[in-house]
Amino acid sequence: MRVLIVEDNRDICGNIAAYLEKHRYILDFAYDGISAMHLALTSPFDIIVLDLMLPGMDGLSFCKKLRADGKLETPILMLTARDTLDDKIKGFEAGADDYLVKPFALQELHARLQALYKRSHGKTDNLLTVGELTLNRSTLQVHRAGRRIDLNPTGMKLLQRLMEEAPSVVTRDALETLLWADEPPDGDALRSHMYKLRQAIDRPFDTHLIHTVHRIGYRITEDVQ
């Protein structure tokens, strides 16, 4: 997930970065409203975390301009020390999607970002998630750590079944039946398709999600045990 953090307090930025980067977020930072607007309009972000009080352009003005002039629907999570109902209503009216009052727990920030991401990528029932990997069963879009991953139809079928059953093991027989019904091809075609899927899902990243269970099948999970 790629997130733009707009916050002029560099200590807060440092704390957010130290926590979210452990969860493999891709983060960019802006310390004033004008720089943030340029980044938001020129780079793709899944979510914008926005402080209300900013130099150059305040958070409310940023929201209004982004929605009205930039025509961007990127979800915005507003951070602010203002906690009155009137302040929250102004934030939502300006275009914010969620509101988190300072001081806040980093665990709550993480949870709210995950919830916003799921809502923005389709209905929760249609979204399969394993760690930083998501598959929207409605749009057939796959993302990992904010990056779009393109799969062929066979790879999509395999990934969807693995994610639907995660973290359980899916047997080789079940995957072969999924692809070829009762007439699997000669040789080990499944292994070839799984290799291609791993190249797309795991190779560009530091950790592997797809695991072979010897002589049984495959599973997809963050847990390497």
CA distances from 191 to 169, 175, 185 (A): 15, 11, 12
24 or 208: which leads in pLDDT: 208
Q: Give 38's contacts (C-beta < 8 A, 6+ positions apart).
A: none
Tell whether the model's pLDDT for residue 68 goes beyond 90: no
For the sheet containing 141-144, what is the strand order?
127-130, 133-136, 141-144, 147-149
Q: Give 152's contacts (C-beta < 8 A, 6+ positions apart).
A: 196
Q: Are 131 and 209 in contact (CB under 8 A)?
A: yes
State mean pLDDT over 198-218.
93
Three-state secondary structure call for residue 180: helix
Most confident of 82-86, 128-132, 161-165: 161-165
Q: pLDDT tier at 156 (50, 70, 90 boundaries)?
A: very high
* 140: number of Cβ within 10 Å: 11
The pLDDT assigned to 17 comes to 95
83 or 148: which leads in pLDDT: 148
Q: Are 27 and 20 in contact (CB under 8 A)?
A: yes
State mean pLDDT over 187-192.
91
State mean pLDDT over 1-5.
91
The pLDDT assigned to 115 comes to 87
State both tokens at 130: 């394993």
Q: Give 196's contacts (C-beta < 8 A, 6+ positions apart).
A: 152, 155
The pLDDT assigned to 161 comes to 94
Domain 125-220 has CATH 1.10.10.10: yes
Domain borders along the chain are: 2-120, 125-220
**Dihedral of the alpha carbons of 165, 166, 171, 174, in degrees to the nearest 10:** 30
State mean pLDDT over 10-26.
91
Identify the bridge partners of residue 168 per DSSP, sorted by sequence position: none
The pLDDT assigned to 3 comes to 93
Residues of the chain with pLDDT > 70, as a percent, come to 96
**Strands 133-136, 141-144: parallel, antiparallel or unpaired by DSSP?**
antiparallel
Architecture of the domain spanning 2-120: 3-Layer(aba) Sandwich (3.40)
Q: pLDDT digits over 95-147, tens only?
A: 999 999 998 999 999 999 988 887 776 555 678 889 889 998 888 899 988 88
Left, alpha or beta for 51 (phi > 0: left; psi -120 to 50: alpha)?
A: beta
